[in-house]
Amino acid sequence: MKAAVYYENGPPSVLKYEDVPDARVFPGGVLIRVEAISIEGGDTLNRLGGALMSKPHVVGYQAAGEIIEVGEGVTDLKVGQKVATTNAFGSHAELRAVPARVAWPLPKGMDTKIASVIPVTFGTADDCLFEFGRLRKGETALIQAGASGVGVAAIQLAKRAGATVYATASSDARLEQLKPLGLDHGINYRTQDVVAEIMKLTGNRGVDVVVDPVGSTLQTSIACLAPRGRVSLVGQAGRAADNMIDPRPLMAGNKSLTGVFLGAEIAGDRAHDNIQRLINDVAKGDLKVVIDKVFPLREAAAAHAYIESRAAVGRVVMVP
């Protein structure tokens, strides 16, 4: 099979398009012919400095496609079904083997490019807002990196829940693209003071929930909290080498900080069923997946470089 691989960590240019041995099904798993690959922020971080499980290494969390083989013991999935999948690595390839528990059936006719984006992106946003952020109707939410995949999902989910939604992004143009998704107020973090703007917009109260997939913005996120406010820290997209924070402001106003990692619970019933619900909601048109660009898999290096340019709104997808 063809795959985008690398032999050492580094910038996007380490990615090579090569022939590698075919992925093989295993007991309790399924083998899919990949039709679409969603590039996740974690994929770029792993390429830059994560462990290489093999040499050459095939990076990548998320892909969707058609099941072509079912492993021993799998009874709830069948050959010919279209599924969205996630796993620790292996998405950047023509074939992919994953545990059946992290393969979600798609409603009939659903576009696999759209489906490839959903499990981690929307599942993470939902957990940040509701499972750990405890967001309720009438509250306020700030989404850091609103134009990211998780940001785009979180804006929609928070608005659908009846919250007032604020988000940050690197340009006014990117913020404008988020307004149709439910953004009430955008903050250009390059030209505006995020904390000052949030306090102005909320009458100096702050927000009830912050979703922070950046990490290097964590001190700002804490400073934006209202009394009893909650921060869900979910990523290190900011790639800060030393992200030490002062936690003392949390005590003033009984504020809280929770680290969120969907992968720790993704195979459990709650998270698994929640992701299936989100896939179905997208298929029905209740939620929207935003795909900024589609690259061929052979141009994986260019796709990764485009993501790291911070120009995208939503996700970047590749097709074999």
Q: What mean pLDDT is reported for the chain?
A: 96
pLDDT at 312: 94
Query: What is the C-alpha to C-alpha distance for residues 81 and 96, in angstroms, rounded to an integer?
Result: 14
pLDDT at 61: 96
Q: Is the pLDDT of residue 241 over 60?
A: no
pLDDT at 242: 58
H or E element in which residue 196 lies: helix 194-201
pTM above 0.85, yes or no: yes
State mean pLDDT over 206-217.
96
Residues 6+ apart with CB under 8 A from 163: 135, 136, 137, 138, 139, 140, 141, 208, 209
Q: Is the pLDDT of residue 238 over 90?
A: no
3-class DSSP state of 166: strand
What share of the chain has pLDDT > 90, as a percent? 94
**Are 2-117+289-319 and 121-263 the same fold in CATH?**
yes
pLDDT at 243: 64
Q: Is the pLDDT of residue 125 over 90?
A: yes
Q: Is the pLDDT of residue 281 over 80?
A: yes
Which strands sit side by side in the sheet containing 256-259, from one edge to the other?
Answer: 185-188, 164-169, 140-143, 207-212, 225-233, 256-259
Here the contacts of 257-261 (C-beta below 8 Å, separation 24 or greater) are: 257/218, 257/222, 257/230, 257/231, 257/233, 258/132, 258/133, 258/230, 258/231, 258/232, 258/233, 259/233, 259/234, 260/124, 260/127, 260/128, 260/132, 260/232, 260/233, 260/234, 261/234
pLDDT category at 235 given cuts 50, 70, 90 is: confident
pLDDT at 102: 97
State mean pLDDT over 13-26.
97
Return the domain boundaries, the chain. Answer: 2-117+289-319, 121-263
pLDDT at 147: 96
User: Could you report the per-residue pLDDT of 32-53, keeping only the tens digit for each?
Assistant: 999 999 999 999 999 999 999 8
State mean pLDDT over 288-316.
96
pLDDT category at 179 given cuts 50, 70, 90 is: very high
Query: What is the C-alpha to C-alpha distance for residues 226 and 199, in angstroms, rounded to an integer?
Result: 9
pLDDT category at 240 given cuts 50, 70, 90 is: low
CATH class for domain 121-263?
A: alpha beta
Task: Give burial (CB, 10 Å; 0-12/13-18/19+) of 72.
Answer: exposed
State mean pLDDT over 294-306.
98
Q: Is the pLDDT of residue 244 over 90?
A: no
State mean pLDDT over 229-258.
84
The domain at 2-117+289-319 falls in which architecture? Alpha-Beta Complex (3.90)
